[in-house]
Chains A and B, each alone.
Chain A
């Protein structure tokens, strides 16, 4: 065999094989792929900008339609003169039509300035950045936990189809799909309070500011565990079921039968042939799973007092700080859109058909 191959490569007569088997440097082999990927990334980036603009316009329009704003409550306060309110309104362009406000807002956001939170009396940028980071942390670890558990168990259930493992997994998945986030968060709160192993809500203990950096780190981690697990649990079931069904589909495929017929070990067949192809549909649900995750995070944050974007949105909503609500919605959407963008790039990297489209 090796002789045959060597001849095929170096024999000038059989030029047909030369092109196919010549050991080209890796760089040249991947170069077109990288170019195609960059083109694809650029295209997707261009697609993202109008989307985010549209979302901000939509939420701004909704805000403009909403009755009353932060000043409505200020006006009822006899200690604040109408002049002050008029001046404040002019300062924030609230006396202008909504599309003018939108342009001002857009200009500011483009330069990284989210304005001033009237309810919190601090710059909205610092508020949003801190909350965004918290939501990101929570979602990221929930994602890690969910995928880290769901993928191996999904594979296990598919490989051992109809065994007790499979049945146990599908039972857990069914229950997991049906337990609402609200209930799960409440149970987690109850568990934390009853066992005392975890802090009851919040992101850091009251003494956080007096701790050493390593203590601070563990304090944050300690607070993060329970909300992240709750959030992961609601996401886990769907991914596990999807992983199982994708792998089962590919295990039925003819190329898997062919691989088995060639005498490959079952482990090799699953890992190298079936799983590689089952990953693509999973990457497509990555985007959906992100959307569910952010909505789930909204609930978990509000119940477990995790100071993230969702909680900020509710606080801003109750304080009638409409600008802050818009900022939060746009930032959450940005988080989702960027997550989808990453999922698309991963998919394009693993499936050439996507990037050629």
Chain B
């Protein structure tokens, strides 16, 4: 009701759709826009992950266990990569003076499939010489490039968040819509089920769901499994809120009009009730994506999600659980920083969306 006045006032001047108004309000929130830009960047990098990454996620360099980060430096008009040689002690490396290799862009390297189906070997940057590796974020305990694994991992971690939320929110909207529209016994049954799912602490439910899947699944199967598990957890809270909205919407006159015109219940729910919940759903979805990403991270971290050698932000962090590693090779925490930035960006964007959508009930 509150948004009704500004919309009609704006229409008198220039006809703006609610979405345009929403976009205008959102544009004014700098932090939200910054969050959005960071997310677009992260997802773009993830999509082109194989191209941006100098190496494949499973490329092992036997001379570079726990190699510290190697950054290109400016020399004249070139970017050059310094060389390190084994130093004193285990996994110690010493810089070799005056031994550099220029860094090239669009260089030929290891083979990979861009977008998963275009076979190519062109990488964004690299030296083209295996004796001069570029480990932007160092190497892990198997001598694998942390930066490359981070990018391959982001393909899994970031996509699980979005796919999981889409499935569980669509489920939640349909179930909630049905529950609120039909009310009565259907409503009671569905709501009891929601309560049941919501009263189990999320991670305990995740583990008991994980228990139902057989061991020895392929990477793709595990990926699908994690999405199924996370969707199963997430729909209940969504359904509850949508149900509440549907309960109040079904009393409104436009619903009565639709029913009088002979619309079937499914049509009323999908075409008339659910569109009225969209602004809430979008805000809630943005604010919930972090939970899905974290769900995958925790599962993989505990060793029951994405398995080595596939990379995900969760299973990369497993190495950091060893305090010896962590003290001496702090770059193993890079995935943690990536998770933090992603979650922060989602929260910034979600907060801005909420203010712009002006949904007070959140």
Which residues of A are interface residues toward B (Cβ below 8 A)?
51, 54-55, 58-59, 62-63, 65-68, 174-175, 177-183, 186-187, 189-190, 192-194, 200, 291, 294-295, 298-299, 302-303, 309-310, 313-314, 317, 322, 325-326, 328-329, 332-333, 336-337, 340
Contacts and interface: CB of A to CB of B under 8 A. Distances in A.
Interface string B306-333: 0000000010010011011011001001
B340 A325 contact: no
Candidate in B196, B199, B323, B327 with the most chain A CB atoms within 10 angstroms: B199
Contacts of A177: 343, 347
Contacts of A309: 204
B99 interface: no
B34 interface: no
Contacts of B327: 190, 193-194
Nearest to A305: B321
B207 A295 contact: no
Interface stretch (B8-16, B255-263, B295-303): B295-303
Given A54-B196, A62-B208, A295 B201 contact: yes
Nearest to B325: A190
Contacts of A333: 199-201, 204
B330 to A, nearest CB: 8
A299 B202 CA distance: 11
Nearest to A340: B199
- State the main secondary structure of chain A at its contact with B: helix
B203 A55 contact: no
A174 B344 contact: yes
Contacts of B211: 62-63, 66, 317, 322, 325
A189 B343 contact: no
A183 B208 contact: no
Interface string B324-358: 10110010010011011001100110000000000
A65 B209 CA distance: 10
B interface, how many residues as a size bin? 35 or more
Interface of B: 192, 195-196, 198-205, 207-215, 290, 294, 297-298, 301-302, 304, 314, 317, 320-321, 323-324, 326-327, 330, 333, 336-337, 339-340, 343-344, 347-348
Contact of A200 (B192, B215, B320, B323): B323
Candidate in B210, B215, B298 with the most chain A CB atoms within 10 angstroms: B298
Contacts of B323: 189-190, 192-193, 200
A54 B192 contact: yes
Contacts of A178: 290, 340, 343-344, 347
Nearest to A309: B204
B207 A180 contact: no
Closest 6 CB pairs of A and B: A183-B336, A178-B344, A294-B201, A193-B323, A298-B203, A178-B343
Contacts of B195: 51
A265 B198 CA distance: 44
Contacts of B201: 291, 294-295, 298, 332-333, 336
A192 to B, nearest CB: 8
Contacts of B199: 51, 55, 333, 336-337, 340
Contact of A310 (B203, B209, B215, B321): B203
B200 A332 contact: yes
B212 A186 contact: no
Nearest to A192: B323
Nearest to A298: B203
B247 to A, nearest CB: 16
Contacts of B348: 174
A280 B326 CA distance: 44
A325 B209 CA distance: 11
Contacts of A51: 195-196, 199
B317 A186 contact: yes
A291 B336 CA distance: 23
A309 B204 CA distance: 9
A87 to B, nearest CB: 25
Nearest to B287: A177
Contacts of B294: 180-182
A75 to B, nearest CB: 15
Nearest to B323: A193
Contacts of B333: 183, 186-187
B196 A186 contact: no
A299 B298 CA distance: 7
A63 B208 contact: yes
Given A66-B211, A333-B199, A298 B204 contact: yes
B208 A180 contact: no
A309 B212 CA distance: 20
A190 B205 CA distance: 29
Contact of A62 (B212, B214, B290, B321): B212
